[in-house]
Amino acid sequence: MLPVMALEPTTVMTTDGVPPEDAFGYWSDLICAEFVQLEARALDTRRFAGSIEHDSLDDLCFSVVSSRGQRVDRTRRLIAASREEVVLVSIQLAGTGSVRQAGRLARQSVGTMTFYDSTVPYTLEFDAPFRQLIVQVPRAMLPVGVLGGATAVGLAPHGPGGVVADFLLGLHRLRRTHPAAAAVLVPHAVGLVDGALRLAEGSGSWSAAAGSAHLRERVHRFVAAHAREADLDVNRVATACGISRRTLFRVLAEGGEGFTELVRRHRVRRAKELLRAHPGRLLSTVAHESGFGGEAQLHRAFRAVTGTTPGAYRGTNRQ
């Protein structure tokens, strides 16, 4: 049975009720607060109107943006002055537009899905009223380097990109009606975004080897984030990554590592961090905070991975 979750209300921000001469200035502040620091210019400041409907689901943010024509720039100066590191997934719902980033240009029509990276300058242009769903995914949730050639590349609604776009649109709707069920699907959403980025980077091709590497990296990320939790097991990792136990064991074996060894390695890494940061902490406490069942388990795993004992390691680092 899914847990009961409190449904936070959708936040609606709009220029309705704002004096016409102040509407675009108000809008500029809204988009900077909702997304990242931006410079915006309206095509017609005298008749500007816009609205944002915001929902959040775990680490993902969903925003439906409806607005009149404008140009938006994320500059190097703004990037240097801020710390936002997100991947923005844009799905065009009405109207047209374009995304420029890293020397590429993607034209956006209804159904097109496009990515852009907050850590690299970009420009968005809309010549007329438009509507989009924008999903913000923390960059840390995606593999390092996956964005190289994937931004400002449009994925058409007919094909694999359309499947991912439909999933994200459905997840956004589900979040408003069944938030607990939607939360269960978040890891699958991140995995699909990861795969869509690879499709965009490879112009629609995704080899079996690349797919296995992608799955393996996703498993590694989840285990690294949760290794300190004593109840971490293969069933939980497989479910979180949206794959079967058999697939999980297969992709790890292709990388030359088993599930037990992977968990042990990350728990030992955590124990080493604690021993360095807190040299006076009891080994039993270090074991518990690293995900081990007790001090004896910590000792065996530590020696297997490092060739030395936790006590000797702590003594060396003290010196």
Residues 261-270 have pLDDT tens digits of: 999 999 998 9
Q: Is 46 exposed, middle or buried (0-12, 13-18, 19+ CB in 10 A)?
A: exposed
pLDDT at 304 over 80: yes
Give yes or no on whether 11-205 and 213-318 have one common fold. no
Q: What percent of the chain has pLDDT over 70?
A: 91
Task: Give the domain 11-205 fold.
Answer: Jelly Rolls (2.60.120)
* pLDDT tier at 201, thresholds 50, 70, 90: confident
Residues 281-302 have pLDDT tens digits of: 999 999 999 999 999 999 999 9
pLDDT at 223 over 80: yes
Q: What percent of the chain has pLDDT over 90?
A: 52
Determine which of 12-21, 133-142, 294-303 has the lowest per-residue pLDDT on average. Answer: 133-142
* pLDDT tier at 179, thresholds 50, 70, 90: confident
The angle formed by the CA atoms of residues 222, 224 and 225, to the nearest 5 degrees, is 65
Locate the domains of the chain by residue range: 11-205, 213-318
pLDDT at 45 over 60: yes
Looking at residues 34-55, what average pLDDT do you find?
Answer: 91
Task: Give the domain 213-318 fold.
Answer: Arc Repressor Mutant, subunit A (1.10.10)
pLDDT at 207 over 60: no
